[in-house]
Amino acid sequence: MLDFQTGMPPAYKTASIEDLKMRVQSVKEKMGDRLFIPGHHYQRDEVIQFADAAGDSLQLAQVASKQHQAEFIVFCGVHFMAETADILAGDHQKVLLPDMRAGCSMADMADISQTERGWKQLQQLFGDTILPVTYVNSTAAIKSFVGKNGGATVTSSNARKVVQWSFTQKERLFFLPDQHLGRNTAYDLGIPLENMAIWDPIQEKLEYQENLEDVKVILWKGHCSVHMNFRVEHIQKLRKEDPSINIIVHPECTREVVALSDDAGSTKYIIDVISNAEKGSKWAIGTEMNLVNRLKQSYPELEIQSLNPTMCPCLTMNRIDLPHLAWILESLEKGTIYNQIIVDRTTSFYAKEALHKMLTLK
């Protein structure tokens, strides 16, 4: 019987890892340049080993905007990343996601009708003084909304640059959907927390107690359920046990966690810092577990641990596993396309504008 949630035949679930690895490799060899597999750094080891390009969200968007040769892009990451790849791909290219359940709980915290309703109310409060900017961790429809309204997408790697640019365009910034990346980035750029309001899309209400004139940044009330698991008490406990430990976290963590850490930055930034770290140094990392474990294996000369000792990987990133990758690839080789991600042309048009703005900002 087929897996009722994904449609994958059961034989893929029972096949041995070694067998599946050989089969994936064989499809890759047979399809050659017709196939391209991008993989996010948060993917499982069993999957990322087959990636033709591994990267963070920005690197993968850059790759997708340049990869115009392959007929099929099998995206090992989550749904919004595959949508981004489809938006940036040529008409002759098809993007496939090995498991359609690989979503992102943060992206799910903002839908387009909430966004349009919120925007209307914010326009009434602030007039035409706001520029919308969205983290790439959002639906194609929200990227399109942002593009239509003159804004841009951001990733954690270029958030500073995009937020700086946004203030050359408008007086205020509306940052979707991750309040923490928005708050941490604006704070780093010198905007005081008192000038930041929160937009609650459920209550449809602005959370702000002071004079509205003082609002510079409006943060959508969304978060990453993975990075919220790193807390101040984890930092305090580790520092107490070992004051020499270096703590580095992703800016999707709360302001309090980022402020207490030694350093914070995107996935790529964390990888770069660890790869240049002094031999024997000790690190506690506040980001996704597949990546932390990989860094631990790659740099045995360092003492690396997760900032939260009971941390799990991002469950939706983890949905892309070797059986689903093998199933999608073998089906493709036989001429059957499963799980194609298609962003309609109108949505794509404006979403591409928002993405291009980000990719071309100097």
**Cross-strand pairs, 131:** 173
The residue whose two tokens read 């360092």 is 302
Least distance from ligand SF4 to the Cβ atom of residue 298, Å: 20
The residue whose two tokens read 């980001």 is 287
**x/- letters, 204..243, toward ligand 13P (CB under 6 A):** --------------------x-------------------
Distance of CA 93 to the CA centre of its chain: 22
Kindly tell me which of 93 and 316 has the beta carbon lying closer to ligand SF4.
316
Contact 251, 182 (CB under 8 A): no
Taking CB under 6 A as the rule, does residue 156 contact ligand 13P? yes
Taking CB under 6 A as the rule, does residue 178 contact ligand 13P? no
Q: Return the residues of window 3-62 that contact ligand 13P according to CB under 6 A.
A: 56-58
Taking CB under 6 A as the rule, does residue 293 contact ligand SF4? no
Among 73, 74, 304, 314, binds ligand SF4 (CB under 6 A): 314
**x/- letters, 94..133, toward ligand 13P (CB under 6 A):** ----------x-----------------------------
Residue 267 Ramachandran class (φ > 0 left, ψ -120 to 50 alpha, else beta): alpha
- Which range binds ligand SF4 by CB under 6 A, 100-108, 262-270, 277-285, 335-343? 100-108
The residue whose two tokens read 């919004």 is 80
Locate 9 and state its tokens. Answer: 């035949």
Contact 324, 60 (CB under 8 A): no
Among 106, 291, 292, 354, binds ligand SF4 (CB under 6 A): 106
Q: What backbone torsions phi and psi does residue 335 show, to the nearest 5 degrees?
A: 100, 5
Among 316, 318, 331, 339, binds ligand SF4 (CB under 6 A): 316
339 CB neighbour count, 10 Å cutoff: 21
At residue 251, the 3 state secondary structure works out as coil
225 binds, among ligand SF4, ligand 13P, none (CB under 5 to 8 A by kind): ligand SF4
105 binds, among ligand SF4, ligand 13P, none (CB under 5 to 8 A by kind): ligand SF4
267 binds, among ligand SF4, ligand 13P, none (CB under 5 to 8 A by kind): ligand 13P
Locate 76 and state its tokens. Answer: 């090992």
Half-sphere exposure of residue 355: CA atoms within 13 angstroms, side-chain side: 33
57 binds, among ligand SF4, ligand 13P, none (CB under 5 to 8 A by kind): ligand 13P
Contact 260, 235 (CB under 8 A): yes
**Nearest to residue 47, comparing CAs of 295, 323, 306?**
323
**Nearest to residue 162, comparing CAs of 266, 13, 36?**
266
Half-sphere exposure of residue 73: CA atoms within 13 angstroms, side-chain side: 31
Taking CB under 6 A as the rule, does residue 266 contact ligand 13P? yes
155 binds, among ligand SF4, ligand 13P, none (CB under 5 to 8 A by kind): ligand 13P
- Which range binds ligand 13P by CB under 6 A, 86-94, 155-163, 293-301, 323-331? 155-163
How would you label 43-62 residue by residue, b for 16+ Cβ within 10 Å and e otherwise?
A: bbebbbebbbebbbbbbbbb
Q: Where are the alpha helices (DSSP H) in the chain?
A: 11-14, 17-31, 45-48, 57-66, 79-88, 112-126, 140-148, 159-169, 179-188, 232-241, 255-260, 267-275, 289-298, 322-333, 345-360
Taking CB under 6 A as the rule, does residue 67 contact ligand 13P? no
Taking CB under 6 A as the rule, does residue 267 contact ligand 13P? yes
Taking CB under 6 A as the rule, does residue 105 contact ligand SF4? yes
Least distance from ligand 13P to the Cβ atom of residue 35, Å: 23
Among 84, 114, 144, 155, binds ligand 13P (CB under 6 A): 155
Residues that bind ligand SF4 (CB under 6 A): 42, 78, 104-106, 137, 224-226, 288, 314, 316-317
